[in-house]
Amino acid sequence: MLAPESSIAPLPATTHQEKVTIHWSGTDSGSGLKSYNIYLSTPDVKDSLWIANTTDKSAEFKGEVGRTYSFYSIAVDNVGNIETQALSPDAEISFLVATDDVYSDQRLKVYPNPASNLVHIVAASDISGMFSISDLNGKEVNHVQITETSKNQISIRDWPSGVYFWKLTNRSGSIITGKLVIIH
């Protein structure tokens, strides 16, 4: 007897959305498909049953920012044959912080976001001060002095992927802040 086969449809590598729709499908050359079991894994938890014995072919999944999830399906046919678990997941997705490609308030531009090699900082004529970048624990990982009409860049090529926070403390005492996502 042949076991049924199923798979999760491909997902984008990353998303800035809070939720994604997971789609799956399957075939069975014998008695026909009865149901699907959908599993997910994270770096911390492997092979966790997400949806049991469903006849649906999609469901909405809400991920946590900064987490990566892998999915696979196991189909069951009408006579009880169960698909063999694959050696690797069918699909994987990472949930990232929702960001804009460019932070801009007319006086300061920080781009690109997400970034992978360089971050550019362009200041207007009335902006000068210290521009700093900190990790999620609040530890400063880099800083640069911004002067009026300056164009700066910071190499982030060797930094770990993740979410960072930037802050510009202007000489007048005002503070501008934002988020930066680094992906390698």
pLDDT at 37: 97
Q: Is 6:73 a contact under the CB 8 Å cutoff?
A: yes
Last residue of a domain, one of 67, 95, 123: 95
Q: Do 28 and 87 reside in the same domain of the chain?
A: yes
Mean predicted confidence (pLDDT) in 94-104: 59
Same domain, 123 and 64: no
* DSSP helix/strand/coil, 122: strand
Confidence of residue 149 (pLDDT cuts 50, 70, 90): low
For residues 78 and 16, membership in a common domain is answered with: yes
Let me know whether 16 and 77 are in one domain. yes
Query: What is the mean pLDDT of the segment spanning 50-66?
Result: 93
Both 109 and 90 in one domain: the answer is no
The total domain count for the chain is: 2
Mean pLDDT of 55-66: 91
Among 75, 95, 115, the domain-final residue is 95
Q: Are residues 64 and 91 in the same domain?
A: yes
Which pLDDT belongs to residue 101? Answer: 47
Evaluate if residue 74 carries a pLDDT over 80: yes
For residue 178, the domain's CATH number is 2.60.40.3080
Answer yes or no: do 57 and 84 share one domain. yes
The answer on pLDDT for 144 being more than 70 is: yes
The percentage of residues in the chain with a pLDDT greater than 90, rounded to a whole number, is 46
Q: Does the pTM exceed 0.85?
A: no
Q: For residue 69, count CB atoms less than 10 angstroms from its CB and return exposed for 0-12, middle for 13-18, buried for 19 or more.
A: buried
Stretch among 127-136, 145-154, 157-166 having the lowest mean pLDDT: 145-154
Q: Quickly state the pLDDT bin for 1 (edges 50, 70, 90).
A: low
pLDDT band per the 50, 70, 90 thresholds, residue 94: confident
**What backbone torsions phi and psi does residue 17 show, to the nearest 5 degrees?**
-80, 155
Asked if 90 and 22 count as a contact pair (C-beta separation under 8 A), the reply is no
56 plus 133 within the same structural domain? no
- We report the CATH number of the domain holding residue 14 as 2.60.40.10
**Are 78 and 11 in a shared domain?**
yes
Mean pLDDT, range 83-87, rounded to an integer: 90
What residue numbers bound the domain in which 121 lies? 103-182
